[in-house]
Amino acid sequence: MVNWVTFLVLFIPIAIFTLMGLLGSVATYTVPDTMRSGEFSNFLTSIGIPSDWNYLPAIIYLGAVPFLGIYLIVAAFMQEIQIFRNITWINWILPAIIAISTIPLGVFVQAVYVMFATLGSYSVGAFGVLYVLGVGFIVLNRAHVWGTGAPGYRGMKLENAYNYYKKWLIDVNGNNTGKASLNIPDALADADKKIRADSLDKAVEILEKKAMEIDNKKNINKQKLEPPSY
C-alpha cells in the first residue's frame, strides 16, 4: 500500500507537467518555413492560387473545402438533370473537370473571396431567416393543433358523458322494472334520434335531464349519480 502511494505521489506531478508541456508545444507550434515554399508552392501559384494560401491550413480552409463544395454542387446538379443517363460515371467526372477549370480561370479565387467576405453577414441573415420561418411555422402549427384539438377534446368529453348517462339510465330502468312513470326508454329513444342526426350535445342534454329528474325522485332503486363534466 505504501509503495502505491509513493508511486502516485511521484507519478501524478510528473504526468501533469509532461502533459502541460505537450499542450504548450502544440499550442505554440508554427508551420516551418520549409513547408511554406517549394515546388508545390510554385505549382499552386502557377495555376492561379494566391501565394498567401500556400501553406497547409490555408490550403485546407480556403482551397480544399470550397473546391469540394463546388464539386458537390455541380455533381448534385448533374445527378438531378441526368443528361448522361446511360453513362453514369460522367456525372462524377465532369463536375471535377468543371471545378478544376475554375482555378486557372480565376473564378475559384474570386468565389472564395466573395464567400468569406460575406460569410459573417450571410450566416447572421440565414439565422435570422431560419429563426423567423421556424417561429412562424411553430405558431401556425400550434394554432392548427389548438384549433383542431379543442373541438376534438370536447367531442370526446361529450361522448363519455353520453355513455355514462345512458348506462346509468339503463341500470336504473333494469332495477325498477314495471315503473312506467320513469319513461326511461322514451328518453333513450329520443337521444338515439339525436345521435343519428349528428347532434351529440342534444343527446347528452336529453339523457342528463332525465337522469337529474330520476335522481331527485325518492323510492327509486338507483346508483349514486355523478354527472361528468363536458
Is the pLDDT at 39 greater than 50? The verdict is: yes
Is residue 185 very low, low, confident or very high in pLDDT (cuts 50, 70, 90)? confident
Phi, psi of 13 (to 5 degrees): -60, -40
**Cell 504526468, located at residue:** 15
Give me the chain's average pLDDT, please: 74
The whole-model pTM stands at: 0.36
Domain parsing of the chain, residue ranges: 53-117, 126-215
Kindly state the average pLDDT of the residues 210-215: 80
Sequence-distant (6+) residues with CB within 8 A of 58 are 52
Is residue 3 very low, low, confident or very high in pLDDT (cuts 50, 70, 90)? low
Q: Which amino acid, 159? A: E
Is residue 1 very low, low, confident or very high in pLDDT (cuts 50, 70, 90)? very low
CA angle, 215 then 219 then 221, to 5°: 70
Sequence-distant (6+) residues with CB within 8 A of 51 are 41, 45
Q: Which of 177, 179, 219, 216 is nearest to 227 (CA)?
A: 216
